[in-house]
Amino acid sequence: MRILVGWDIESESDLICMYLGIDDNDVTVAVGGDAFRAEIEGDNQFDIALMSINLPDPDGAFELFAEAIRRRPNMSIVGACDAQEIIRVIRFMTQGMSSYVLRDSGGDYMFMLQAVLESTLEAVTAQREREVAQRLREEVESVRKLQESVIPASIDAPEGYSICARYEPSQIQVVGDKAVTMAGGDYYDVFRLDEKHIVLLVGDASGHGMKAAMSIMTMHTLVRMIRTQSYTETAEFVAAINDHLTEQGVVNDEGGFITMLYAILNTGTCELQWTSAGHPAPMLQDLATGEVTVLGPEDAGGLPLAIMEGIEYDTYTSHLPGNSRLLLCTDGLEEAFPESKPGRHNQFGIDGIIETMKRSVELPLVDAMQALFDDSEAFTEGSGRHDDTSVVFLEYR
């Protein structure tokens, strides 16, 4: 510990210095009010101070204490007083004094000083960590609410179709083993381009927390800005988004990127045009048989967004047969795993998603989506999904 001692009796100060000088403590003793004030105004750094509440005298002690609190807000202060003066300590404690010790005439209290200062510093440090954790929760919550504000609150499905969607952020553990719902990097959007075309979009920014959330909000803004421009293919639109995002430092700083699946459904012809920028391909389910097919070739995923400008992407076209379901999701479902068994071979995986879709084929669409979240959560054996998860589920009857 780096200890500052402000004392009023010089003959006691040497003994205090000796007792506190053990365990490699760095002790600075200031005898008298002027010397103590000079130390708190100086450049030396201290973790904690032991201060007599009679320094420089009973009348001026509180003023000196207040100055120490003002100049050294991160330095804990322990007061020292005689037993008959304990009533005076109340004023100091209500204004920020961390603790106090009683002085006895025989000087036995000096043997306790090391333990008192250590325990006080530990308590103050723990309290500050709790306060920082609380501020973290509040800041993350504010960003998370801003992020969730860009996710559609309701979806208007065309006649003959049903659509449901859900976003669920990951969680982390912080001080006190309390869970914090993180501001995440997942995103979905569903909107109509015109009377016959509807856009289905899911995205996933690398990493977690505020940077990922801000990256997704940047992409959302770009999508909404240029969505009405004339792009004959989904690949052209994705390429335009990529070129814009490569100019955004908030996205690609420190190697950041975004994966995205962008699809346009012609609700009249049931043709689905889609492009992947490093994102899992859509999955199509035949409701008559329950069979599930991953659309497109194995290499359908192009390069993620914001890595480099001028990337060319591929457009794929698929047909939605009658009585079918279409699933777009981020990798939070697939990559769910038990915390005690990390490793790719222990992931819920595409097989887990397909199995759940088959099992829930006769359930209503919303319940089938809930089953995907429930089954992947159960697969983690209580540890929870460690990545954000977004799902867009469409049914055509």
- CA distances (Å), 139 to each of 144, 183, 249, 262, 361, in order? 9, 9, 21, 31, 41
Q: What is the pLDDT of residues 126-139, one digit of tens each?
A: 888 888 777 767 76
Nearest to 69 by CA among 44, 46, 42, 40: 40
**pLDDT for res 174:** 47
Backbone angles phi, psi at 315, to 5 degrees: -105, 130
CA distance 307 to 255: 8
Which residues of the chain form CATH 3.40.50.2300? Answer: 2-128
Q: What is the pLDDT of residues 241-288, one digit of tens each?
A: 999 999 887 787 778 899 999 999 999 999 999 999 999 999 999 999
Residue 315 has pLDDT above 70, yes or no: yes
Q: What is the pLDDT of residues 138-177, one digit of tens each?
A: 766 666 676 666 778 788 898 999 999 998 877 554 444 5
Beta strand pairing call for 186-192 and 179-181 = unpaired
CATH of domain 151-396: 3.60.40.10
**Is this model's pTM higher than 0.85 or not?**
no
DSSP conformation letters of 156-199: -PPTTEEEEEEEE--EEE-GGG-EEE---SEEEEEEESSSSEEE
Residue 209 has pLDDT above 80, yes or no: no
pLDDT band for position 67 (cuts 50, 70, 90): very high
Q: What's the fold here for domain 2-128?
A: Rossmann fold (3.40.50)
Which residues of the chain form CATH 3.60.40.10? Answer: 151-396
**pLDDT for res 68:** 95
Collapse the DSSP code of 84 into the 3-class scheme (helix H, G, I; strand E, B; otherwise coil) and give the result.
helix
Backbone angles phi, psi at 4, to 5 degrees: -110, 125
